[in-house]
Structure 1
Amino acid sequence: MVLSHLPARFSAVVLLVCLASASAAQQGRPPTAVTVVTMERQDVTLTATLPGRVVASGVAEVRPQVSGIIIARLFDEGAEVELGDALYRIDPASYEAQVAAARAAVAQAQASLSSAVKDYERAIELLDRDVGSAQSVDDAVAGRDIADAALQVAEADLQAAEIDLDRTTVRAPLSGIVGRSLTTQGALVTAGQSEQLAVIRKIDPVFVDVTASAAEIVKWRRGHTLDALGEADRTVTLILADGAGYEHTGTLTAAEPYVDEQTGVVTLRIDFPNPDQFLLPGMYVQVEMPTGVASDVVLVPQEGVSRNRRGEPTALIVNAENTVESRVLTVLKDRGNEWIVSEGLGEGDRVIVAGLQKVAEGATVAPEERAAAE
C-alpha cells in the first residue's frame, strides 16, 4: 500500500488498522492439534539380548543292530514317531533259522538233563539197597549238573537268537520327528555301522543355547541378578530371525560350567515349549533375559523422543496451560518400541508423539490423548 501521497495523520490511522487486523487474524487461528501420551511411573524389568541357536531336546541316530538286507521302510519321512515304532525291516530268514536251531539245542539239552536226572535217581535207589556205590551217585550228580548247565547255555543261545530276530525290525529309539531316510530298500547294512539309517529329533520342547559373558554368569552365581529381580517377572522371551516375538516363554535350565578361553563367554541352555513345532533345530534366535529392575521410571514411545544439537535425547511435552515445553531425558535403554526413561519426565507429563513437526517450544497446542493399543 502506498501512503506517501496521503496526509501523515491519515497514514498512521491506516497503519494501525492493518496491524490490528493482522493481530486479530492471528488471535483467531486455532491452536495446533497434537497427539500426546500421558506418562506413568512404574517399575520395569531390565533385560539383556543374547544370541542363540535352537537345539533339539533329544536326538537319536537310527542304526541297525544286526546285519542283513533292508527289505522295507515302514515310516513316512518327516512324520512323527513314537518310541518303539517300526522303522525298517531287515531280511529275517537267516535269523529265523538261528532261532529254530537254538530251540532244537534247547530240546536236546532238556532231553539230556532228563536222562541225567533219571541216572541220578537210579543211583540213589541202588545205594539205598546197598547194591550201588557212593562213587556212582557222585558221577550221577555230576552228570545231572553238567546237563543242567548245558540246558542253561542252550536257553541263553535261544534268547540271543530271538533278540537278533527281533532286531531285524529296526525300531525308533526316541519319540520325535524322523527325518529323511538315509538308506533304501535292498541296501546291505551291518551291525554297528557308522552310517545312520535316519535321525529322530525331539522338538517339543526345544532348547535354545545362548552365550553370555563371564561377568553375567558371576552375577547369576552370586545371586545378584535374582536379588535385583525380586518379585519381578523372571521369564525369558524369544525373538525370531524376522524380529517378531515368540508366543511362548522359556526357563533357564542349565549353564555350561566352562568359560571359553578365547571368547570369554559361557553357554546357557533355555527350555522353550514348542507345541506347534514352529522352532526348528539350527534356527538363529535372540533371547531376552531379565537382568534387573529399574524402579520409578517411565516408558516413552520412541516416536516421541528426538535429539538436540548436543546429541541429548529430548521430548516435547504439553504443560497445564497447553504450552509446549522441551525436556532433556536420561534414557536407560530401549524396550521394544519404547524408551526406558529415568529422569526428565514425571508422573502425568504429556509427551507429544504426533504433530511434532508442526509445533515448537512455547507454542500453544490442542492436545489429544492417543488411544491405547488393543
Structure 2
Amino acid sequence: MALPLAACGSSAEQSGSGQPPPQVGYVLVKTSSVPEPVTLGGRTVAFETSEVRPQVMGVIRRRLFSEGSYVRAGQPLFEIDPSLYRAAVNQAEANLVSAQASAEAAIARAERLKPLAQMEAVSQQEYTDAAAQARVARAVIAQNRAALETARVNLRFTTVPAPISGQIGRSLVTVGGLASAGQETPLAIIQRTDPMFVDMQQSAADLVTMRRKLRDGGIAAGSTAVTLKLEDGSDYPLQGTVEFSEVTVNQQTGTVTLRARFPNPEGLLLPGMFVNAVFNQAFDPNAILVPQQALRRDFDGSAFVMVVGKDDKVFRRKVNTSRTYGNSWVVTQGLAKNEKVIVQGLNGLKQGTLVKAVPANAPQDPTVDREQAADAGAGAPKRSA
C-alpha cells in the first residue's frame, strides 16, 4: 500500500523527482472604466397634453373632427350655436355708430364755442362744459369699440379650435349638449406622443449615494443615453435621453422622479405604458474585471479565484463580485492590480501547487504535455494495484 500513497504525493514533490509542474494560463488583473447600469421602472407620459374646453356658453351644433385622428393646432373641432353672439356683435356695432354720432356733435359744439369764449361772447364756463362733453363723447366711443371687440371675440369662441397638434381622443360631449366656460368635463383631450416622455422612479437613498461617490471621485458621471424594455419583454428600437431629475423627494414612496425623452415616430409608445429604462448612470474608472471562467464557487456560494504567487505556487483567493460586464465578472474586493489570475488549467488545481504559469492562450509546451500524459498512463495501473 506504500506505492499508491507515494504516487499521490504533492506536485512539488513530484517536480523534485523529475516530473514537470502543470502549465496554467493566467491573466494580469487590470483596472478598467466600467459603466454601472441602472434599471428603473417607469411610465410613459405624453409630451404635450391639452384639454379642449369651451370659452363661451351654448349648445353644441356640430363636431368637426374624427375621433382618434391627428389634428393640428387651430383646426376647428366643435361649433357652438353662434346666434346670441352674432346678435351681440350687431348690437355693439350699432352702439358704436350711435356713440360716434353723438361725439361728432359734441366736438363740433366745443369747436364753435372756443373762439366765442375767447371774444367773451359766451361765458368761459359754457365753453368748458362743451369741451368736457366732447371728451366724454370720445371716451364713450372707446368703450363701445371695446365692447364690439369683446362681442367679436365671443363670436369667434363659438368655434372651438385645437390648442395643440396631436392625437385627439373620443369626444366627451355629444351634439346638442350644453357647453359652458366653467364646466369640469373637457370636450375632448389631445395628446402629442412624438416625442414621448418616460418618468422613472429612483430611490432617494441610491441617488444620494451616487452623488456622494461622484463628489468624492469614486465614480465618474455616466451617459444620459437610455434604452427601454417594453411590457412584453422586447427592446424599444430607439434610444432616449435623460432630461432631468426632480429636486423633491416623494414623501410617500421615498423616490425621486427622473424624466427621459424618446422619439416615437411610429406611435409604438402610448401614454400610460409601464416600461423598464436601462441607462449607465455612472462609470467606475477603477473597476477590476476577471474572466468568467476564472471564477469558481464554494459549497456555501462564496466566490474565489486561483492566483499565481511570486514563487509560482497557487493560492486560493476569496473575492466579492457584484455583477457581470460582458464576459467578465466585476470584482469589488479581494484582488489588486497586476495580480496573476489563472484562467486555464484550473481542473484539479489545489492551493500550494507549484505550476508553470504562462500568459493565457500562449502555445502549450508539447514536451510537458507528452510527459504528463505518460505519467498519467504509468500511474493508472499502480493506483489500480
Same fold flag (TM > 0.5): yes
Residue 68 of structure 1: aligned partner: 58
2:291 and 2:68 map into 1 onto residues whose CA distance is: 46
2:31 and 2:340 map into 1 onto residues whose CA distance is: 6
Residue 253 of structure 1: aligned partner: 243
Aligned with residue 187 of structure 1, among 171, 174, 177:
177
Residue 213 of structure 1: aligned partner: 203
2:303 and 2:83 map into 1 onto residues whose CA distance is: 80
Deviation at 1:41, TM superposition (A): 8.5
Aligned with residue 230 of structure 2, among 237, 240, 247:
240
1:203 and 1:298 map into 2 onto residues whose CA distance is: 44
**In 2 relative to 1, CA 225–283 (structure 1 residues): closer, same or farther, beyond 3 Å?**
farther
Residue 22 of structure 1: aligned partner: none
Q: Does 1:297 align with 2:289?
A: yes
2:230 and 2:291 map into 1 onto residues whose CA distance is: 24
What SS is found at the alignment partner of 2:117?
A: helix
Deviation at 1:334, TM superposition (A): 4.5
Deviation at 1:177, TM superposition (A): 1.5
Contact 2:291 2:343 in 1 (8 A): no
Contact 1:228 1:291 in 2 (8 A): no
Deviation at 1:211, TM superposition (A): 1.3
After superposition, where does 1:75-94 map in structure 2 within 5 Å? 75-94=65-84
Deviation at 1:265, TM superposition (A): 1.7
My pick for the range that moved more, 158-167 or 213-222, is 213-222
My pick for the range that moved more, 69-78 or 232-241, is 232-241
Gaps of 5+ in 1: 1-39, 316-326, 352-359, 368-374
Contact 1:225 1:292 in 2 (8 A): no
Residue 135 of structure 2: aligned partner: 145
1:313 and 1:221 map into 2 onto residues whose CA distance is: 30
Deviation at 1:217, TM superposition (A): 2.6
Q: Does 1:109 align with 2:103?
A: no
My pick for the range that moved more, 260-269 or 164-173, is 260-269
Equivalent position amino acid for 1:174 in 2: I
Q: Does 1:200 align with 2:194?
A: no
Deviation at 1:349, TM superposition (A): 8.8
What SS is found at the alignment partner of 1:155?
A: helix
Contact 2:224 2:242 in 1 (8 A): no
1:84 and 1:60 map into 2 onto residues whose CA distance is: 13
Contact 1:74 1:87 in 2 (8 A): yes
Identity across the alignment (%): 38
1:299 and 1:108 map into 2 onto residues whose CA distance is: 94
Deviation at 1:166, TM superposition (A): 0.4
Give the TM-score normalised by the residue count of structure 1: 0.70
The CA deviation string for residues 56-96 of structure 1, in whole angstroms up to 9 with x for no partner, is 12211111111111111111222222222211111111111
Residue 25 of structure 1: aligned partner: none
2:280 and 2:318 map into 1 onto residues whose CA distance is: 27
After superposition, where does 1:114-133 map in structure 2 within 5 Å? 114-133=104-123
Equivalent position amino acid for 1:297 in 2: L
The CA deviation string for residues 227-279 of structure 1, in whole angstroms up to 9 with x for no partner, is 56647544222221122222333333233332233432222222222222221
Give the TM-score normalised by the residue count of structure 2: 0.68
Contact 2:62 2:78 in 1 (8 A): yes
The CA deviation string for residues 193-251 of structure 1, in whole angstroms up to 9 with x for no partner, is 11111011122222211111112332465571895664754422222112222233333
Equivalent position amino acid for 1:70 in 2: I
1:130 and 1:101 map into 2 onto residues whose CA distance is: 43
**In 2 relative to 1, CA 203–227 (structure 1 residues): closer, same or farther, beyond 3 Å?**
farther
**In 2 relative to 1, CA 161–347 (structure 1 residues): closer, same or farther, beyond 3 Å?**
farther
**In 2 relative to 1, CA 96–80 (structure 1 residues): closer, same or farther, beyond 3 Å?**
same
Equivalent position amino acid for 1:266 in 2: V
Q: RMSD value over aligned CA atoms? A: 3.6
Residue 270 of structure 1: aligned partner: 260
Residue 148 of structure 2: aligned partner: 158
Deviation at 1:286, TM superposition (A): 1.1
Gaps of 5+ in 2: 1-29, 306-316, 349-360, 362-385
Residue 370 of structure 2: aligned partner: none
1:132 and 1:106 map into 2 onto residues whose CA distance is: 32
Residue 49 of structure 2: aligned partner: 59
2:328 and 2:140 map into 1 onto residues whose CA distance is: 82
After superposition, where does 1:36-47 map in structure 2 within 5 Å? 43-47=33-37
The CA deviation string for residues 37-71 of structure 1, in whole angstroms up to 9 with x for no partner, is xxx99533111111111111221111111111111
How many residues are paired up? 307
Deviation at 1:283, TM superposition (A): 0.5
Contact 2:60 2:78 in 1 (8 A): yes
1:226 and 1:241 map into 2 onto residues whose CA distance is: 37
Deviation at 1:111, TM superposition (A): 0.8
